[in-house]
C-alpha cells in the first residue's frame, strides 16, 4: 500500500523542472557506509485489506474481558459514544500543535476548556494543557517543587509505577526520594512527615491511595502548609465528585492520571497526565498553556502563552522539554467532563464507591478478609486470604475467574489481591464473581 | 464562540448513568475528606455538546483540511486504515496489567514494531515507552548518563549545535547535563573545528539532527563520528527528520549509537493538535541494558512476555507508568506493515522529490539557500523585510488566507526571517503548484501593497492575537 499520489507524468514533470532524470540524483550527496547494512529492511508490504486482516489477527490474540475488577492505575469506565465521536473529528485528530492561533481557535478553545475543567475538578488556580501521563505529571510537579533542594517525601501509598517514574526523573539531577511508610491502617504515616518538616521540600501523596484507602489529606495539608512544604496531591479524577478537592485539602499542586475521563485502557496508552497548581507557580509551570487574549478588534482569541518557560524559547533553561503533549486526550477529557457534568461527576463517584463496597461485602462472604477493615476506601481495596486455604490463594482465585471470562484484581502477594469496581460493574457481575470465588459457582 | 461553560444550564444532562443496583454506600458525613463545594462542570445536553464541538472543529485545521507544509513536523496524510486498527476492541480493551498470557497480541505488536524500527534505523534494540520525541530524548540522555556511570567515567556535558530543536538542550538539562552549544555554518552543517575543540573528555554525547534543520544531509558524518567516538563520546541521532532517509540511509550504519523516532512524524500517526505522539528510543547493543524497564521478550516457544532486568539489569527505571502510547504504536505498525520496505523507501524518495520541486519553484522569487535539499527547505524573507517591511510572520499569516497552513517560521534560528517548508510525500504536484503560486502572489503583493499583507489574515474568525497581553495578564481558565 502506498499513500504517495505521484503519477509517472507528475514525476517526469517534476524531474524536468529540477533538471535531473532520476530521483536518486537528489540523494547523491548522501554519505553511505562502505560496508553493507547488517540487516536488510525485509518488510514485505501488504494491501490495505491484508494489513487490516493482519492487525485483526494480532488483536484477536488478546483476551478482551467483559467483566473487569482490575484497576491499579488504569481504569475501565463507561465511555459515552458522544465522547468517542467528537474526539474522532479529523480536524482535531490531524492538526498539529496550534502554532497559528487564527486558524486553530477550535483546538485552542478546546484546550482552554480542558484547563478550566481541570481547575474546577481540583479547585486550583491553573492547569497546563496536558502531560504525557499521570506519572510524568507527578514527576514534573516534584521537579518544580523541589528545585531549590530539600527532601522529596513520597508516600508508599502512591502507585509504585508513579514512584518509579518520579525516581527516574529525579535521577537526572542526582536527587532521590524519601519514602513515607504506611501505617497499619494502610494510610500515610503522618508522624513520619511531622518529623521531617524542617528538611522537606515537598510531599506527595495519592488520594485515594494505591490500596484504595482514603488518606487524611486535609490534616496533612494543614501540617505542610504551616511548615511551608510544597504539597502535591496525586488524585483519581473519578473520586473528585465525592472526595475533598486538592484545593480544599491545601494542596499546592494536583496531578493525576486522566485516562478514566473517556480514554480506553489501550494496553497503557495514550493516556493523559493532568497537572494544576496555585497561582504562584504559574510562571514555573511545565508544558504548554493556553490563555485568552484579544485581537485588534477586541475579539477574544485563545493562544499558546507564557512561552518564555518553554524549550523553543529558553532551550536549556526551560522549565521542561515538553513539546508534543497529549492534546487530543485533553480534548477527550473535556468532552467527557462536559458530557457527565456537575451532577454526573458526583453520581459516578458514588456509584464507584457503592459498587466497590458491595464487591467487598461479597468477597468477605466468599471467605476473604479486608486487609484494612477499619479504614474507609473509595473504589479499590485489598483482600487477604487464609494462607492455609489454598483454594482462596490469589493465584487460584484469579485462575477461576479467568475461566469464567472475568478479570480479577491485581495480585499483590500469594494471599493478597487489590480489587477495583467502577460504575460499569453490575450487581449480577459482582454476585457472579463472588459465587465463583466461594465455590458456589462451581470450582474450576 | 462562547465557552461550553457559558452554555451550561443548571440541571441539564448530557449523559446519565444506570440506576444504582446495589445498596448506596455513604462515607461518614463528618469526615474531613468529603468534598464541600462541588466541581462546577458544564451542564449541557448531548446535542449542545455535539454542536459546540462541531463549531470548534470548524475553527480548526488539520492535514485532512488542506496543505500543511509545517517544516520539521512531517505533516503527512494519516491513513484512515490506521485509525481503524487502533480502534479494535482487541487493542483498546486490554488492561496494561492483565497479564502477558492474555495480551500476546499486544506484546507481539510491540515486539514487531521495535524489530521493524530497528531494521529501519540500523539499531539493535529499543523501547516504545517514551510518549513523545522530547520524552525519547530525555530517556536516551538518562541512558547515556547511566552508561558512563557504569564504566566509571564522569562526563557531565552534552554538545548541541545551535541549529538544533529546542528540545535537545532542554532534555539534556532535565537529565542533569551541562549544555555546550556549538555554532553551525550558514548551511546548518556542523562546524567541525568547533566540535573538535568542544569535544573533551567531559562530554558524554553529541546530539545531531540529520538531515539537519535546514533540510540538508550532514556532509561530514564519518568525520563527526570519528571525533566523538575517538574521545569516548556517544553520538545521538535526533530522528525528527528521519522521513527524508528512511529506507535509504540508516543512522545505525552511519555511526550513531542511540536515537529517538517521532512516530507522529515519520510513521504517519496523527498529531492530535499537540499529541499524543510517541517517541521510541532505539540503540546499539552496548546501551541496551540501560533501556527503561520492562522489555518485551520472545522465548524459544514464540511466547512473548514483559521482563525487567533484560541485558544485564542496568535499566534507568521507568520514564512513563505503562507500556508507552500503545495505540499510537499500533497505528505506526499498521503503516509500516502496509508500506513494507519498498513503500518506506518510496515515501522518503517522494518526500525529497516534493521538497526539491517546491524549493525549485520557490527559488524563482525567494532565496532558498544553496544545493539540493532533502525533505524540507528553508526560504528567507530577510530581503523582503528589508525592502518592503513585510516579515516571514506576515507572509505566513497571508498564507492562511490562501486556505493553507503556513510553514514553520523563525526556525532554525540561524537563518533570518526563516520559513521552513516540508511538503511531505503525500502531497501531489498540483497541491504544491497551487501553494507556490499563492506564495508568489503574496510576495508580489508585499512589494506593491505591504499593508494588505501585514493585516492578514482577514478570512479567519479572529485576527492576530495580542500575545503580550496574554503573557502579561494570564487568563488561563473560565
* Residue B30 cell numbers, joined: 463528618
Give CA–CA dist A118/A132, Å, rounded: 16
So what's the pLDDT on residue B370?
Answer: 76
Say if the Cβ atoms of B16 and A344 lie within 8 Å.
yes
Please list the residues that pair with A383 across neighbouring strands: A370, A417
Specify whether the CB–CB gap between B384 and B453 falls below 8 A: no
Say if the Cβ atoms of A106 and B426 lie within 8 Å.
no
Q: Is A232 part of the contact surface with chain B (CB cutoff 8 Å)?
A: no
So what's the pLDDT on residue B377?
Answer: 96
Return residues 332-361 of A near B (CB < 8 Å): 334-335, 337-348, 350-351, 353-358
SS3 (DSSP) at A234 = strand
- The CATH number given to whatever domain includes residue A428 is 3.90.1150.10
Specify whether the CB–CB gap between B327 and B91 falls below 8 A: yes
Stretch A50-57: mean pLDDT: 98
In tens digits, chain B (478 residues) has pLDDT values of 999 999 999 999 999 999 999 999 999 999 999 999 999 999 999 999 999 999 999 999 999 999 999 999 999 999 999 999 999 999 999 999 999 899 999 999 999 999 999 999 999 999 999 999 999 999 999 999 999 999 999 999 999 999 899 999 999 999 999 999 999 887 889 999 999 999 999 999 999 999 998 889 998 999 999 999 999 999 999 999 999 999 999 999 999 999 999 999 999 999 999 999 999 999 999 999 999 999 999 999 999 999 998 888 899 999 999 989 999 999 999 999 999 999 999 999 999 999 999 999 999 999 998 778 999 999 999 999 999 999 999 999 999 999 999 999 998 888 999 999 999 999 999 999 999 999 999 999 999 999 999 999 999 999 999 999 999 999 999 9
> Does a structural domain hold residue A51?
no
Give CA–CA dist B48/B58, Å, rounded: 16
Within this chain, do residues A253 and A349 fall inside the same structural domain, yes or no? no
Within this chain, do residues A71 and A94 fall inside the same structural domain, yes or no? no
Domains of chain B in start order, with CATH, are: 1-59 (no CATH), 81-337 (3.40.640.10), 346-454 (3.90.1150.10)
Size of interface A-B (CB pairs under 8 A): 704
Q: Is A39 part of the contact surface with chain B (CB cutoff 8 Å)?
A: yes
How far apart, in Å, are the Cα atoms of A326 and each of A85, A257, A274, B261, B277? Answer: 18, 12, 10, 17, 7
SS3 (DSSP) at B93 = coil
Per-residue pLDDT band at A435 (split at 50, 70, 90) = very high
Within this chain, do residues A147 and A125 fall inside the same structural domain, yes or no? yes
SS3 (DSSP) at B180 = strand
Q: Is A288 part of the contact surface with chain B (CB cutoff 8 Å)?
A: yes
Q: In what order do the strands lie in the sheet with A416-420?
A: A369-370, A380-384, A416-420, A410-411
Within this chain, do residues A276 and A413 fall inside the same structural domain, yes or no? no
- The CATH number given to whatever domain includes residue A322 is 3.40.640.10
Q: How many CB atoms lie within 10 A of CB B454?
A: 18
So what's the pLDDT on residue A90?
Answer: 98
Burial class (CB in 10 A: 0-12, 13-18, 19+), B37: exposed
Give CA–CA dist B426/A81, Å, rounded: 32
The 8 Å CB, 24+ separation contacts for B146-155 are: B146/B290, B146/B314, B146/B316, B147/B234, B147/B286, B147/B287, B147/B290, B148/B204, B150/B290, B150/B314, B153/B232, B154/B202, B155/B201, B155/B202, B155/B203, B155/B204, B155/B232, B155/B233
How far apart, in Å, are the Cα atoms of B89 and each of A333, A421, B81? Answer: 20, 21, 15
Q: How would you classify the pairing of strands B304-307 and A67-68?
A: unpaired
Has residue A1 got a pLDDT over 50?
A: yes
So what's the pLDDT on residue A443?
Answer: 47
In which domain, by residue range, is A181 found? 81-337
Specify whether the CB–CB gap between A163 and A192 falls below 8 A: no
* Sign of the torsion formed by the C-alpha atoms of B175, B181, B186 and B187: negative
Q: Is A81 part of the contact surface with chain B (CB cutoff 8 Å)?
A: no
Has residue A29 got a pLDDT over 80?
A: no
Has residue A32 got a pLDDT over 70?
A: no
Say if the Cβ atoms of A168 and B397 lie within 8 Å.
no
So what's the pLDDT on residue B369?
Answer: 82
> Does a structural domain hold residue A10?
no
- Which residues in chain A have Cβ-Cβ distances shorter than 8 Å to B28? 376
Q: How would you classify the pairing of strands A300-304 and A290-294?
A: antiparallel
ipTM: 0.97
Has residue A428 got a pLDDT over 50?
A: yes
Mutation to test the B interface, candidates A157, A169, A221, A324, most B Cβ within 10 Å: A324
Q: How many CB atoms lie within 10 A of CB A87?
A: 23
Say if the Cβ atoms of B321 and A73 lie within 8 Å.
yes
> Does a structural domain hold residue A360?
yes
SS (H, E, C) B142-167: HHHHHHHHHCCCCCCEEEEECCCCCH
Within this chain, do residues A197 and A220 fall inside the same structural domain, yes or no? yes
| Domain end residue (candidates: A285, A307, A337) | A337
Within this chain, do residues A394 and A247 fall inside the same structural domain, yes or no? no
Give CA–CA dist B177/B158, Å, rounded: 6
| Domain end residue (candidates: A303, A337, A371) | A337
Counting the structural domains of chain A, the total is: 2
Say if the Cβ atoms of B97 and A133 lie within 8 Å.
no
Stretch A47-53: mean pLDDT: 97
Has residue A441 got a pLDDT over 70?
A: no
Has residue A271 got a pLDDT over 70?
A: yes
Stretch A115-129: mean pLDDT: 98
Within this chain, do residues A220 and A361 fall inside the same structural domain, yes or no? no
Q: Is A408 part of the contact surface with chain B (CB cutoff 8 Å)?
A: no
How far is the alpha carbon of B295 from chain A, nearest alpha carbon, in Å? 14
Specify whether the CB–CB gap between B383 and B416 falls below 8 A: no
Return residues 71-110 of B near A (CB < 8 Å): 73, 75-79, 81, 83-85, 88-98, 102-106, 108-109
CB within 8 A of B284, min separation 6: which ones? Answer: B123, B124, B252, B257, B258
> Does a structural domain hold residue A18?
no
Within this chain, do residues A305 and A372 fall inside the same structural domain, yes or no? no
How far apart, in Å, are the Cα atoms of B293 and each of A342, B42, B136? Answer: 39, 41, 14
So what's the pLDDT on residue A444?
Answer: 43
Has residue A38 got a pLDDT over 60?
A: no
Q: Is B19 part of the contact surface with chain A (CB cutoff 8 Å)?
A: no
Q: Is A96 part of the contact surface with chain B (CB cutoff 8 Å)?
A: yes
> Does a structural domain hold residue A34?
no
Has residue A101 got a pLDDT over 60?
A: yes
Specify whether the CB–CB gap between A265 and B88 falls below 8 A: no
CB within 8 A of A146, min separation 6: which ones? Answer: A152, A170, A175, A201, A202, A230
Within this chain, do residues A279 and A379 fall inside the same structural domain, yes or no? no
How far is the alpha carbon of B388 from chain A, nearest alpha carbon, in Å? 22
> Does a structural domain hold residue A301?
yes
Has residue A339 got a pLDDT over 90?
A: yes
Within this chain, do residues A274 and A373 fall inside the same structural domain, yes or no? no
Q: Which residue of A has its CA nearest to B424?
A: A4
When CB atoms are compared, the residue of A5, A107, A346 closest to B428 is: A5
Within this chain, do residues A283 and A424 fall inside the same structural domain, yes or no? no
Q: How would you classify the pairing of strands B281-283 and B125-127?
A: antiparallel
Within this chain, do residues A327 and A434 fall inside the same structural domain, yes or no? no
| Domain end residue (candidates: A297, A320, A337) | A337
Specify whether the CB–CB gap between B239 and B246 falls below 8 A: no
Amino acid at each position: 500500500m502506498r499513500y504517495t499520489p505521484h503519477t509517472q507524468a507528475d514525476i517526469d514533470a517534476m524531474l524536468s523542472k529540477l533538471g535531473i532524470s532520476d530521483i536518486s540524483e537528489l540523494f547523491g550527496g548522501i554519505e553511505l557506509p562502505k560496508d553493507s547494512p547488517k540487516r536488510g529492511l525485509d518488510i514485505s508490504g501488504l494491501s490495505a485489506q491484508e494489513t487490516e486482516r493482519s492487525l485483526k489477527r494480532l488483536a484477536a490474540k488478546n483476551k478482551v474481558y467483559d467483566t473487569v475488577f482490575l484497576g491499579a492505575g488504569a481504569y475501565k469506565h463507561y465511555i459515552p459514544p458522544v465522547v468517542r465521536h467528537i474526539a474522532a473529528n479529523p480536524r482535531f485528530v490531524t492538526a498539529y500543535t496550534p502554532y497559528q492561533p487564527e486558524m486553530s481557535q477550535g483546538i485552542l478553545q478546546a484546550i482552554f476548556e480542558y484547563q478550566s475543567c481541570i481547575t474546577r475538578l481540583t479547585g486550583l488556580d491553573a492547569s497546563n494543557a496536558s502531560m504525557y501521563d499521570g506519572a510524568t505529571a507527578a514527576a514534573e510537579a516534584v521537579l518544580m517543587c523541589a528545585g531549590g533542594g530539600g527532601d522529596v517525601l513520597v508516600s508508599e501509598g502512591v502507585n509504585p509505577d508513579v514512584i518509579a517514574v518520579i525516581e527516574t526523573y529525579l535521577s537526572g539531577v542526582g536527587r532521590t526520594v524519601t519514602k513515607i511508610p504506611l501505617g497499619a491502617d494502610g494510610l500515610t504515616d503522618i508522624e513520619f512527615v511531622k518529623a521531617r518538616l524542617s528538611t522537606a521540600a515537598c510531599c506527595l501523596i495519592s488520594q485515594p491511595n494505591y490500596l484504595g484507602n482514603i488518606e487524611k489529606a486535609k490534616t496533612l495539608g494543614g501540617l505542610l502548609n504551616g511548615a511551608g512544604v510544597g504539597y502535591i496531591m496525586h488524585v483519581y479524577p473519578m473520586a473528585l465528585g465525592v472526595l475533598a478537592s486538592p484545593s480544599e485539602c491545601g494542596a499546592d499542586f494536583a496531578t493525576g492520571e486522566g485516562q478514566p475521563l473517556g480514554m480506553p485502557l489501550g494496553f497503557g496508552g495514550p493516556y493523559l497526565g493532568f497537572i494544576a497548581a496555585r497561582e504562584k507557580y504559574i510562571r514555573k509551570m511545565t508544558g504548554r498553556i493556553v490563555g485568552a487574549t484579544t485581537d485588534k478588534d477586541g475579539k477574544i482569541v485563545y493562544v499558546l502563552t507564557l512561552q518564555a518557560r518553554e524549550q523553543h524559547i529558553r532551550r536549556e533553561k526551560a522549565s521542561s522539554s515538553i513539546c508534543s503533549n497529549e492534546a487530543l486526550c485533553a480534548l477527550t477529557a473535556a468532552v467527557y467532563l462536559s458530557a457527565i457534568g456537575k451532577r454526573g461527576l458526583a453520581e459516578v463517584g458514588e456509584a464507584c464507591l457503592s459498587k466497590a463496597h458491595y464487591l467487598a461485602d461479597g468477597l468477605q462472604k466468599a471467605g476473604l478478609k479486608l486487609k484494612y477493615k477499619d479504614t474507609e476506601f473509595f473504589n479499590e481495596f485489598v483482600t487477604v486470604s487464609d494462607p492455609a486455604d489454598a483454594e482462596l490463594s490469589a493465584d487460584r482465585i484469579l485462575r477461576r475467574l479467568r475461566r469464567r471470562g472475568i478479570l480479577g484484581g491485581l495480585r499483590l502477594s500469594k494471599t493478597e489481591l487489590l480489587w477495583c469496581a467502577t460504575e460499569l460493574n453490575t450487581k449480577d457481575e459482582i454476585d457472579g464473581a463472588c459465587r465463583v470465588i466461594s465455590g458456589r459457582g462451581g470450582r474450576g | 464562540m462562547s465557552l461550553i461553560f457559558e452554555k451550561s444550564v443548571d440541571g441539564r444532562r448530557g449523559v446519565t448513568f444506570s440506576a444504582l443496583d446495589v445498596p448506596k454506600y455513604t462515607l461518614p458525613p463528618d469526615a474531613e475528606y468529603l468534598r464541600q463545594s462541588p466541581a462546577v462542570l458544564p451542564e449541557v445536553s448531548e446535542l449542545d455538546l455535539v454542536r459546540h464541538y462541531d463549531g470548534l472543529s470548524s475553527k480548526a485545521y488539520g492535514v485532512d483540511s488542506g496543505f500543511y507544509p509545517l517544516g520539521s513536523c512531517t505533516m503527512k496524510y494519516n491513513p484512515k486504515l490506521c485509525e481503524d486498527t487502533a480502534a479494535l476492541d482487541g487493542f483498546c480493551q486490554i488492561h496494561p496489567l492483565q497479564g502477558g498470557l492474555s495480551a500476546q497480541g499486544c506484546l507481539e505488536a510491540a515486539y514487531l514494531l521495535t524489530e521493524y524500527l530497528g531494521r529501519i534505523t540500523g539499531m539493535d534494540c529499543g523501547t516504545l515507552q517514551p510518549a513523545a520525541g522530547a520524552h525519547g530524548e530525555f530517556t536516551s540522555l538518562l541512558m547515556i548518563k547511566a552508561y558512563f556511570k557504569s564504566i566509571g567515567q564522569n562526563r557531565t556535558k552534552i554538545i548541541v549545535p545551535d541549529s538544533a530543536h529546542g528540545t535537545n538542550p532542554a532534555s539534556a538539562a532535565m537529565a542533569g547535563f551541562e549544555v555546550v552549544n556549538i555554532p553551525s555554518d550558514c548551511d546548518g552543517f556542523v562546524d567541525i573545528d568547533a566540535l573538535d575543540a568542544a569535544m573533551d573528555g567531559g562530554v558524554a554525547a553529541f546530539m545531531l539532527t540529520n538531515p539537519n534543520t535546514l533540510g540538508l544531509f550532514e556532509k561530514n558524518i564519518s568525520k563527526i563520528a570519528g571525533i566523538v567516538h575517538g574521545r569516548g563520546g556517544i553520538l545521538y541521532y535526533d530522528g525528527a527528520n528521519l522521513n527524508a532517509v528512511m529506507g535509504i540511509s540508516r543512522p545505525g550504519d552511519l555511526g550513531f549509537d542511540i536515537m529517538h523516532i517521532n512516530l507522529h512524524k515519520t510513521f504517519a500517526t496523527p498529531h492530535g493538535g499537540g499529541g499524543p505522539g510517541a517517541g521510541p528510543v532505539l540503540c546499539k547493543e552496548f546501551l541496551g541494558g540501560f533501556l527503561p524497564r520492562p522489555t518485551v521478550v520472545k522465548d524459544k516457544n514464540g511466547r512473548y512476555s514483559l521482563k525487567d532486568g533484560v541485558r544485564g539489569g542496568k535499566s534507568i527505571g521507568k520514564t512513563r507508568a505503562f507500556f508507552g502510547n500503545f495505540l499510537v504504536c499500533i497505528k505506526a505498525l499498521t503503516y509500516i506493515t502496509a508500506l513494507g520496505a519498498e513503500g518506506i523507501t518510496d515515501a522518503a524518495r517522494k518526500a525529497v522529490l516534493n521538497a526539491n520541486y517546491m524549493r525549485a519553484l520557490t527559488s524563482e522569487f525567494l532565496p532558498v539557500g544553496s544545493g539540493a535539499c532533502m525533505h524540507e527547505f528553508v526560504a528567507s524573507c530577510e530581503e523582503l523585510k528589508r525592502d518592503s517591511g513585510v516579515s516571514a510572520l506576515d507572509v505566513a499569516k497571508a498564507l492562511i488566507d490562501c486556505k493553507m497552513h503556513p510553514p514553520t517560521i523563525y526556525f532554525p534560528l540561524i537563518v533570518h526571517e526563516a520559513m521552513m517548508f516540508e511538503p511531505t510525500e503525500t502531497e501531489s504536484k498540483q497541491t504544491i503548484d497551487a501553494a507556490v503560486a499563492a506564495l508568489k502572489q503574496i510576495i508580489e503583493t508585499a512589494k506593491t501593497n505591504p499593508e494588505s499583507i501585514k493585516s492578514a489574515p482577514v478570512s479567519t474568525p479572529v485576527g492576530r492575537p495580542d500575545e503580550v497581553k496574554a503573557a502579561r495578564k494570564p487568563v488561563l481558565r473560565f
